[in-house]
Structures are given as C-alpha cells and as structure tokens.
Amino acid sequence: MSSHAHYIDGEWTGGASGEEFESVDPATRETLGSFPQGTPEDVSRAVAAAADAFDSWRERSYIDRAEHLWDVFHELRDRHDELGEVVTRECGKEISEGRADVTEAWHMVEWAAGNARHPHGDIVPSEIAAKDSYMRRKPRGVVGCITPWNFPVAIPFWHMAVALVEGNTVVWKPAEQTPWCGHVVAEMMADAGIPDGVFNLVQGYGDAGNAIVEDDRVDTVLFTGSAEVGHSVADKIGGQSGRSACCEMGGKNAIVVTDTADLDIAVHAAVMSSFKTTGQRCVSSERLIVHEDVYDEFKSRFVDVAQSVRVGDPLDEETFMGPVVDREQVEKFHRYNDLARSEGAEVLVDRADLPETMLPDGYDEGFWVGPFVYEMEYDPDARCLTEEVFGPHVALIEYSGGIERAVEMHNAVDYGLAGAVIAEDYRQINYYRDRAEVGLAYGNLPCIGAEVQLPFGGVKKSGVGAPHAREVIEAVTDRTAWTLNNDEDIEMAQGLSADITTDGE
Ligand code: UN1
C-alpha cells in the first residue's frame, strides 16, 4: 500500500489537515492505497495557483497548448492496460469496461487536441459592406471539475481536455471512491510538462468539491454525478453573475420494445443496457416498456439471461458484471428492491443476495449484488418506476396501443438522459426519435455507449448544459461577436442613422 498526494501548482503535496482516506477494492475490500483528504484550504491553494497560471496559459497558441495534451494522449495509450486495471480494481467494473474507460479518455483527448488545428469560429456577413464580423471565443478562466467514480478516467477528460486546450486552467476533485485513477491521471499531466498551476488535483470528499463550488475565483464548474448534488451546484452558482455551472446527472432510462421489434436485438440491447457496469452508468436502463404482443416472449428470454448472466471477479475476462462500488450502493439497491415489492412488483429474478458459493474464493467480503428483475402494472407515481437506483434493478412494464402510448410512459419521469427504441417499423422509430424526452436516443441499439464526438447530456432533471465533447466548449469559453470597421466613416445596420445632430446647426 502506498501513500499519495495532491498535485498543486506543479508540486506533489500532502494535505493541510494531515488526514488520509483509503481507496478500497469493491471486489475484495482490500485497501489499494491511501490519499490525502483535501480541505477547503487545499482547494483554496489549488484555485490560487490556477488563477495565477491563467494569463500565461491563455497567451499560448491553441496548438502549443494542445501539444501537452498529445503527450497525455500517448501516455494514456502506453499505460492502457495498467490504468484499465486500476479502473477495474477501484470501481469494480469488469476489465473490458475498465480498459474502455481509458480508451474513451484518449478519444476525448484526441478530439480536443485535434480540434486545436481546426478552424475556430465563424465569419459572419454584415449589412454594411465595410464591416467584418467574426465569432471568437475566449477561455473563461479557472474551471473546477468534479467527477464521478463510474467513469473515473473518461469523464475527467470530458471535462478537462477541451477546457485546457481552450486556454482555461483546472482544479479537479475526483470521486473519493477512485482516487488512484485520479493520481495516475495527474502523473500523466505532470509528465506531459503542463506548466505549474495549469492543472491541479485535490483528492477528497464532498467538502473539497463544495469548496470548489463556493470559491468565486472558479469561473466555471463542470459536474458529472448525482442529480441531488448537481442541482445544488447549479442552484448555488446560478445566481452569481460571471460564474457558470454545467452539470450532467442521472437518468431513469427506458427501452421501448414495440410490436414489430426483432426480439434478438431487443433482448441483447436490454441486457447490455441494464446490466453492463452492474447498472451503474447514468445511461443504464431500469425500465423496459414492452408491447403486449411480444411481452411474454421477451419476458421469458430476458429473465433467462438475467438468471444466468455471469457475476464475478471483474479482472476475469469472462465476467459480465463485477461488484457495485461500495456499501452505500448495495444498501440503496436493496432499499429500492424492497420498495418495488411494497409498490406491487411481481418479482421475476432475485439475485440481489448472491450466495457465497457463486463468488470466487477470497471475494466474499466484496460489494456483490446480482440482477433484480420484476414486472409491474404501469403506475406513473410508483417511486420504483420513477427514481434512479443506479444498480441492476429492472422493471418490465407492458403496454398496449401504439408507439404514442409507449413514448408517453417513457417520458413520464423527471429525468431525460438516454433511451432506446427497438422496432422494425421506421415510423415507430421516427416517432420515438422526435418525441422521446432524452438527450441521447438510440434505435435498435442499447442505450449505452455514446462516443465522444457526439454531444453527451440530458434534458429535464438529467442536465444543465453538457460537460462533454464539443458542447463543453460552450461551458468553458465566452463568445465574442467581434466587428471591425474597414471604412473611415461609421455606418450602422438596420437603417439606424449615424448622424449626430447638434443645436444651432
Ligand atoms: C455514464 O453513463 O455515466 O455512453 C457515462 C456511455 C459512455 C459514457 C457513460 N460513453 O455509455
């Protein structure tokens, strides 16, 4: 077990408090390392360093800034297997997902650094021939990044890659469940020679994250995580002039399976969406809305897979589902399973308490759960059908009538992040595309697996802005509509007179 540090102003440094916390492997409960527990004082030092470094960083060219990111891109590729394993050991998702997390991170870095050599902004015509108008962007300043444990490498780069290339400086607080991933990313930033203060890492809990939100030297906060915290971040910052927040939160995502669906695709897509990452993606589906004509067959095939889907050692290539991240997630999952029962669920698969005999030797202390699947009469007020669980907790809901009815049920939740329709009739698919209230929509696919060159983010309770890929540019820059006059006279658009009349003429 090794001890780690914050990375502030180009230095590895212990915390002001001297307190440490541990990272725990959710499969074994083995301690993976200890990390300094950041305090508001540590955050304040990091923000001061980021604010000082801003002017000289913004003065560099896009391409110069991006060169550092290209070094990080190569490090992510060179350390792929090593970091993929750290992801799996810290957050418990199976190894192909651990590696994919790192791959998604370098895709994001590639996108941001590549974008540095692309044209920026627009040339905009003016009514007045002598006027040249352009749209330009300026970095906002210090960007605070608060990121979750379920994508502990990819999501930090959704936030930081574009922010840095655009000329901002960064203070990052990774999730307390995945500080080791945070540490490796900071090593990469340090190795890439990013100037002191441009990138800062403060490890710790919510109080450190809150100190970022409270510090008015932080111009923009990018947050990905729970709706509860995200909305409080957006509320705190919303009223402050000059500051902005961009938050991506959870979902109560659904898959609609219509009467025309190909059931091979439907079952495959539903299993992937509900059980990959042990249901702990913000895009995971917890509701399967299935037409009465195909309901019985879909149910029996989905239940068969849910009964047998392999839960086990996340480092084993054959595993489909690893453990959930911590005790809190286990408890929340059980709480919602009980709630579903009390709200009238007919339980179809209950592997919530996995027998020890199903776990590999030495793993019985881990945070294990298996699929919990139920069917239930549709009730728009049932909490189990409307609140996010973040686990392999899945409801089958039967519908009759047309796609309009399915989409009505699909939309009857406060969230709106991701969803999918499985159908062979293009009219049903297009109806869903146009009416489903989500930021990410899929046809004949799982509702997980977005790529970085698409915007990522939701509507309704799922998001305020989109802290991802090209959309994040909006959050980390201010636009200037710049107009230059090439004439010696001033002439105005809209027929506005430019004459100045005075008394006595
Ligand atoms: C999340 O669900 O928390 O679309 C992020 C996906 C991944 C990112 C998911 N690219 O499934």
Are the CB atoms for 476 and 144 separated by under 8 Å? no
Which H helix or E strand runs over 397?
strand 393-399
Instruction: Count the Cβ atoms, other than its own, within 10 Å of residue 212.
Output: 27
* Reported pTM: 0.96
Cα(448) to ligand 1 centroid in Å equals 6
Which H helix or E strand runs over 56?
helix 40-59
pLDDT for res 118: 92
CATH architecture of 253-443: 3-Layer(aba) Sandwich (3.40)
Cα(353) to ligand 1 centroid in Å equals 26
Asked whether the predicted pLDDT for residue 2 surpasses 70, the reply is no
Residue 168 backbone phi and psi in degrees, to 5: -90, 165
Active site annotation includes 248: yes
User: Cβ neighbours of residue 411 under 8 Å, at least 6 residues apart?
Assistant: 435, 436, 437
* Domain range annotation of the chain: 6-249+462-483, 253-443
Reported as a single tens digit per residue, the pLDDT across 311-336 is 999 999 999 999 999 999 999 999 99
- N-term to C-term CA, the chain: 87
Instruction: Count the Cβ atoms, other than its own, within 10 Å of residue 501.
Output: 6
Asked whether the predicted pLDDT for residue 348 surpasses 80, the reply is yes
Cα(415) to ligand 1 centroid in Å equals 16
Four-way CATH pick for 6-249+462-483: 3.90.1010.10, 3.40.605.10, 3.10.20.600, 3.40.309.10: 3.40.605.10
User: CA dist 492 to 122, 128, 132, 486, 488, Å?
Assistant: 21, 7, 13, 13, 13
Average pLDDT over residues 451-475: 86
Give the closest residue to 251 by CA, choosing from 77, 417, 496.
Answer: 417
Give residues (CB < 6 A) around ligand 1: 104, 150-151, 281-283, 448-450
Give the pLDDT band of residue 232 (cuts 50, 70, 90). Answer: very high
Give the pLDDT band of residue 1 (cuts 50, 70, 90). Answer: very low
Reported as a single tens digit per residue, the pLDDT across 255-309 is 999 999 999 999 999 999 999 999 999 999 999 999 999 999 999 999 999 999 9
Reported as a single tens digit per residue, the pLDDT across 419-446 is 999 999 999 999 999 999 999 999 999 9
Q: Name the residue of 97, 99, 456, 468 whose CB sits within 8 Å of the most ligand 1 atoms, as the mutation to test its pocket.
A: 456
Give the pLDDT band of residue 503 (cuts 50, 70, 90). Answer: very high
Q: Cβ-count burial of 474 within 10 angstroms (0-12 exposed, 13-18 middle, 19+ buried)?
A: middle
* Residues paired with 371 in a beta bridge: none
pLDDT for res 302: 98
Question: In ligand 1, which atom is closest to the CA atom of 417?
Answer: 2
Q: Name the residue of 93, 106, 151, 155 whose CB sits within 8 Å of the most ligand 1 atoms, as the mutation to test its pocket.
A: 151
Q: Whose CA is nearest to atom 6 of ligand 1?
A: 449
| Cα 353 from Cα 343, distance rounded (Å) | 20
pLDDT for res 53: 98
Counted residue by residue, the chain has a size of: 505
Side chain identity, residue 70: W
Give the closest residue to 371 by CA, choosing from 272, 470, 274.
Answer: 274
Catalytic one of 282, 286, 398, 471: 282
Active site annotation includes 282: yes
Q: Whose CA is nearest to atom 7 of ligand 1?
A: 449
Q: Six-digit token pair at 136?
A: 């330009």
CA 179: distance to chain centroid? 17
| Cα 41 from Cα 261, distance rounded (Å) | 56
Cα(66) to ligand 1 centroid in Å equals 25
Cα(456) to ligand 1 centroid in Å equals 8
Cα(167) to ligand 1 centroid in Å equals 26
Give the closest residue to 191 by CA, choosing from 53, 461, 8, 10.
Answer: 10
Are the CB atoms for 48 and 8 separated by under 8 Å? no
Asked whether the predicted pLDDT for residue 7 surpasses 50, the reply is yes
Q: Where are the alpha helices (DSSP H) in 92-178?
A: 95-115, 154-165
